[in-house]
Structure 1
Amino acid sequence: MWRVLLVEDQAIVRQGLKVILEQDKNITVAHEANNGAEAIAVLEKYAIDFVMMDVRMPIMNGLEATTIIKKRWPAIKILILTTFNDDEYAVEALKQGANGFLLKTADSTKLIEAVYSCMHGGLTLHDEVAAKVMPKLLQHTSKPSVTVALSPRELLITKLVGEGKTNKEIANQLFLSVGTVKNHITQILQKTALRDRTQLAIYAVKHDITD
């Protein structure tokens, strides 16, 4: 069962998210926090698999918390909850290693799907916000060619990661085992000197990687 930490300064919103998430048998909301500072304090004491976090919060916002969490606990998955006015924060959160972002207006099915996607290695981007965020990620970027020597298979896997595909989806599409896909991604991260698959996804978009 995945242990979730909800980080949101509005108690009524936290309660609603908890009710939705715990409808799924694989998810339990283990802890809650009002802001990023409280979230870090929780992570110092308890084992957490997944953090669902608001962007705008007092004391420490979601961007600041994401930066610290990914530096100290890189294996923890982070999904940023955002509004249309928070897209600048969302871009920065992705750059710091967040595993995706979702609008607060998302329905319950999409919310649970986002948890599964992140936990299985996917990059969750709410369609409506992605349309605003991706241009910002590409801003001041002239689609440079890839300078790192990646094999054709590695380039294809990088492309699929950039599309938000999970390891399982990539494995099914390329008729490989999940373990083989993981090994390829590890090698790609080493070659590109990137920290994780979120940075790899952004790398794929910036470099316009295609088949």
Structure 2
Amino acid sequence: MWSVLIVEDQSIVRQGLKLMLEQDSRIRVVAEAENGQEAINKMEAHVIDVVLMDIRMPIINGIEATRKIKERWPHVKILILTTFNDDEYAIQALKNGADAFLLKTSDQHALIHAVYSCFQGGLPIHEEVVAKVMPRLLHKLEKKLELPLSSRELDITRLVGEGKTNKEIADELFLSVGTVKNHITQVLHKLGLRDRTQLAIFAVKNDLT
């Protein structure tokens, strides 16, 4: 069972999210917070697997709270859930370690699917957000990087940055899941990165997606 912390400054929204999430037997909401500082306090008091994080909140906003939580609890998955379809918010959240970026227009199925996708190594991003972020990133493609990666490793890095799971990458590139995992391990080693989330952020920050 996955333990969830909901960070949202509106009580009625928190209650609605809790009701939606707990329709799944593997998900249990164990704590709630009204702002980023309270979220950090709750992290210290509970064992949390997933944080559902709003962005615009008092005291400490969701972007900064994501950074602080990831620094102390890097294994915790953080799903940004916001009303604001803003490409800068999305990019900053991913840079700070967010594992997903969804809009509050998402339905229950999309929300629960995002939780599962994160734990399977995916990086789910709402399609409306992708539609705004991708043109901005593509506009910078003239910036070339000298990376110690093979063409296959670059392909896999790009797909990780797009939020694809190992199974989805394997299907797209006609590889086995094991081969994909081996390639990712090699890429992490070559780039000096710690985990898949850092690789996804690297891909986004360096316009590889």
Shared fold (TM-score greater than 0.5)?
yes
Q: CA deviation at 1:137?
A: 4.5
TM-score w.r.t. length of structure 1: 0.87
Aligned letter for 1:154? E
More displaced stretch, 199-208 vs 97-106: 199-208
Q: Say if 2:146 is the partner of 1:164.
A: no
C-alpha spacing 1:4/1:61, structure 2 compared with 1 (3 Å) = same
Q: Which piece of structure 1 moves more, 189-198 or 70-79? A: 189-198
Shift of 1:146: 3.7
For 1:52, give the aligned amino acid.
L
Q: Distance in 2 between matches of 1:205 and 1:35?
A: 27
Provide Cα deviations, 1:1-50, integer angstroms capped at 9, x if missing partner. Answer: 11111110111001101111111111111211111111111112221111
**5+ residue gaps in structure 1?**
none
Q: Any stretches of 5+ residues in structure 2 without a counterpart? A: none
Q: Is the CA contact (8 Å cut-off) linking 2:86 and 2:129 kept in structure 1?
A: no
1:189 — aligned with what?
A: 188
TM-score (norm 2): 0.87
1:3 alignment partner, SS class? strand
- 1:35 is aligned to 2:35: yes
Amino acid at match of 1:160: L
1:205 and 1:57 map into 2 onto residues whose CA distance is: 25
Report what 1:113 is aligned to. 113
Offset of residue 61 of structure 1: 0.6
What is the distance in 2 between the residues matched to 1:96 and 1:26? 27
Q: What is the alpha-carbon distance in structure 1 between the residues aligned to residue 194 and residue 136 of structure 2?
A: 21
Aligned residue identity for 1:61: N
Q: How many residues align structurally?
A: 208
In the alignment, what sits opposite 1:11? 11
Shift, 1:151, TM fit: 2.5
Alignment correspondent of 1:83: 83
In the alignment, which residue of structure 2 is the partner of 1:57?
Answer: 57
Q: CA contact under 8 A between 1:80 and 1:98: conserved in structure 2? A: yes
Bigger drift between 90-99 and 159-168 goes to: 159-168
Whole-angstrom distance in 2 between the partners of 1:143 and 1:116: 35
Cα RMSD (Å) of the superposition? 2.3
The answer to whether the Cα contact below 8 Å between 1:91 and 1:136 also exists between their aligned partners in 2 is no
User: Does residue 70 of structure 1 match 2:60?
Assistant: no
Counterpart-to-counterpart distance in 1, 2:205 and 2:8: 31
Structure 1 counterpart of 2:200: 201
